[in-house]
Chains A and B, each alone.
Chain A
């Protein structure tokens, strides 16, 4: 299982701030996770479509599609940042 976190507009759109997700057997990457979530359809498919301006982190480090994800990891999806 991994822990998923959503922030800001994505948290509102998905209607939740966190959940757990079972990884499929075998090696997984951030792209594996993105595809699993996008396959839910609706807002998930829209917001996490390839080419959409979302960002992600694995264990609190900025990640890309090739970043490995393993059981126990914290994975976050969020919009481009707007602090400062």
Chain B
């Protein structure tokens, strides 16, 4: 499965090996790992809970990967996003893109991540010393996704 939403942690090496498996035409693999920080918007974060919209989440990420396939030479791609309770240092998200050459792999990986931030239905709730708070969407993420529309 190239799109997975799961509670469990993931092993980056194993996922990269699976994405590359058996294809000698792959010349480049780019990966991105998002991790939980212990500080956000000036408050310390003890843990966070990630909620999602089952069904729509998988569908929207598959659409994002397909869009990347239409723009770059993507031979294989995989996205894993964790949900449930996560603590600082935990891995949250993995994007792996395999291509013939590094330029396409880097670009498609960044594109998938930027679109995932603004389109995939996940929500973070952080536990801070002042209690739980839902994370607000960032204008910076919208801007990061928008630049792909101006300069494909």
Contacts and interface: CB of A to CB of B under 8 A. Distances in A.
Q: Is the interface of B mostly helix, strand, loop or mixed?
A: mixed
Contacts of B51: 7-8
Q: Which of A5, A57, A79, A84 has the most chain B CB atoms closer than 10 A to its own CB?
A: A84
Given A8-B51, A76-B53, A82 B123 contact: yes
Interface in B65-84: 81
Interface stretch (B17-25, B101-109, B114-122): B114-122
Interface in A36-84: 53, 57, 60-62, 76, 78-84
Interface of B: 34, 50-53, 55-56, 59-60, 81, 92-93, 113, 116-125, 134-138, 141
A23 B122 CA distance: 28
Contacts of B118: 81
Nearest to B58: A60
B116 A83 contact: yes
A82 B119 contact: no
Given A8-B51, A76-B56, A83-B81, A62 B134 contact: no
A59 to B, nearest CB: 9
Nearest to B121: A81
Nearest to A55: B121
Given A60-B60, A76-B56, A83-B117, 7 more contacts: A5-B53, A8-B51, A60-B59, A62-B60, A62-B119, A80-B136, A84-B93
A9 interface: yes
B137 A80 contact: yes
Interface of A: 5, 7-9, 53, 57, 60-62, 76, 78-84
A53 B59 CA distance: 23
Nearest to B118: A81
A46 B61 CA distance: 31
Contact of B123 (A5, A7, A57, A76): A7
Nearest to B34: A84
Which 6 residue pairs of A and B lie closest in terms of their CB atoms, listed nearest first?
A83-B122, A80-B137, A8-B123, A60-B56, A84-B117, A82-B135
19 contacts: A7-B121, A9-B123, A57-B121, A60-B56, A60-B59, A61-B59, A76-B53, A78-B121, A80-B137, A81-B120, A81-B122, A82-B122, A82-B123, A82-B124, A82-B135, A83-B52, A83-B120, A83-B121, A83-B122
